[in-house]
Amino acid sequence: TDRKKFHTAPVGQVFRLRPFHVLVATGGGYAGYRKYEDYKLEQLEKRGIEVPVRLASEWEVALYKSVPTRLLSRAWGRLNQVELPTWLRKPVYSLYIWTFGVNMKEAAVEDLHHYRNLSEFFRRKLKPQARPVCCVHSVISPSDGKILNFGQVKNCEVEQVKGVTYSLESFLGPRISTEEMHFSQAPPGNSFQQQLVTKEGNELYHCVIYLAPGDYHCFHSPTDWTVSHRRHFPGSLMSVNPGVARWIKELFCHNERVVLTGDWKHGFFSLTAVGATNVGSIRIYFDQDLHTNSPSYSKGSYNDFSFISNNNKEGIPMRKGEHLGEFNLGSTIVLIFEAPKDFKFNLKAGQKIRFGEALGSL
């Protein structure tokens, strides 16, 4: 009789499912399942077993997109800015170094206590001698990473990994007006790919470089060229690791990205920084107006900005190896450029590469 009385609410009031919670739980669970599948594929590849391509269906892509990756990426970005107590810095950074195999001997500052927060640690500079820039070859790797694919662009399609393609026009967006470019436009009846090729006898080439979380996060100019235009595509922030790139067709067209276009000595040249989960922040050093991963955006929209003005008729000149931008975490860089038919890549698909090493030359 002395027992306390407990007043309970109906189960429906205590545990009320909302559509958002269902989407997050379902999408998050499926994303975890995909991570496990990716791990199994990586193990098969290490054993030299060819993995058949299985593309995601529309409902699988929609389910993956239901995960609030943009919100999570903004939260991750804010967490990166939190200053860590001095006593906590070494344990936190050491765990990251051990997990992703970071080589701190290459860092300009090796003392882990120097980095006040995760953002500073991710953006650490390298010792000048750590990445010598190749002077012999005309195009170098703009970053550390893994070569996913490279070669000629054919039939207006680009390979993100072997056997999985995406549309060149969907990726770059509509052709930029000739007023913002230094070269003449091809006849309007030609395909989008032919319109990008400005000199007779040239071909269009591409190269895809995946930056893992443990790689050096900054990227540099891959050649001597002039940047005349920036196009920013807001979008999803799905993972871009090789397993997901093999699974989702046109993954790079779904994700947020920043396309820099201009010209080099052989004609058209472009570098695209593709965002990914926890990599909503893409920074271009000379572009103060660029703001990525904004809370709201219209699907399929993009923002254009020209670096050519009345005061600057040429655009932004970039020298080979010059600092260009940075990611918060690992992501992907896609190069699409015009070159003569005798241009040759000095690469193998799947190989590791470091900033400054040769990609190809004439």
Taking only the tens place, the pLDDT of each residue in 237-259 is 888 888 788 888 888 888 889 99
**Beta bridge partners of residue 361, listed in sequence order:** 344
As given in the structure block, the two tokens for residue 157 are 């399609």
DSSP string, 109-169: ---GGG--SHHHHHTPPBPGGGSPPPSSSSEE-SSSEEEEEEEE-BTTEEEEETTEEEEHH
Please, are residues 362 and 343 in contact by the beta-carbon 8 Å criterion? yes
Determine the average pLDDT of the residues in 136-145: 91
pLDDT at site 110 = 92
Query: How far lies 8's CA from each of 11, 16, 109, 280, in Å?
Result: 9, 15, 59, 44
Spatial CB neighbours of 179, under 8 Å, sequence gap ≥ 6: 308
Which of 294, 348, 356 is closest to 322 using CA atoms? 356
Condensed to tens digits (0 to 9), the pLDDT of residues 38-88 reads 666 666 666 666 566 678 888 888 888 888 888 887 887 788 888 999 999
Query: How far lies 298's CA from each of 67, 122, 255, 276, 302, in Å?
Result: 18, 30, 13, 18, 9
* Pairwise CA distance, residues 345 & 351, whole Å: 13
Condensed to tens digits (0 to 9), the pLDDT of residues 289-315 reads 888 887 777 777 899 999 988 777 789
As given in the structure block, the two tokens for residue 286 are 């000379």
Which three-class secondary structure string do you get for 64-111?
HHCCCHHHHHHHHHHHHHCCCCHHHHHHHHHHHHHHHCCCHHHECCCC
Condensed to tens digits (0 to 9), the pLDDT of residues 81-140 reads 889 999 999 999 999 899 888 889 999 999 999 999 888 888 888 888 888 898 888 899
For the chain, the average pLDDT equals 82
Let me know how long the chain is: 362
Q: Residue 195: helix, strand or coil by DSSP?
A: helix
Query: How far lies 143's CA from each of 89, 158, 264, 358, in Å?
Result: 26, 20, 19, 11
Which of 77, 64, 74, 68 is closest to 21 using CA atoms? 68
As given in the structure block, the two tokens for residue 177 are 């007006």
- Which residues carry out catalysis? 144, 220, 331
Q: Strand 225-233 relative to strand 257-264: parallel, antiparallel, unpaired?
A: antiparallel
Rg (CA), the chain: 23
Residue 21: pLDDT over 80:
no
Task: Kindly state the percentage of the chain with pLDDT values over 70.
Answer: 81
Query: How far lies 209's CA from each of 159, 219, 242, in Å?
Result: 12, 11, 10
Residue 212: pLDDT over 50:
yes
Condensed to tens digits (0 to 9), the pLDDT of residues 155-184 reads 888 887 777 888 899 999 988 765 555 554
How many Cβ atoms from other residues are within 10 Å of residue 74's Cβ? 18
How many Cβ atoms from other residues are within 10 Å of residue 219's Cβ? 26
* Pairwise CA distance, residues 78 & 119, whole Å: 9
Q: Residue 356: helix, strand or coil by DSSP?
A: coil
* Pairwise CA distance, residues 280 & 73, whole Å: 6
The answer to whether the pTM exceeds 0.85 is no
Residue type, 40: K
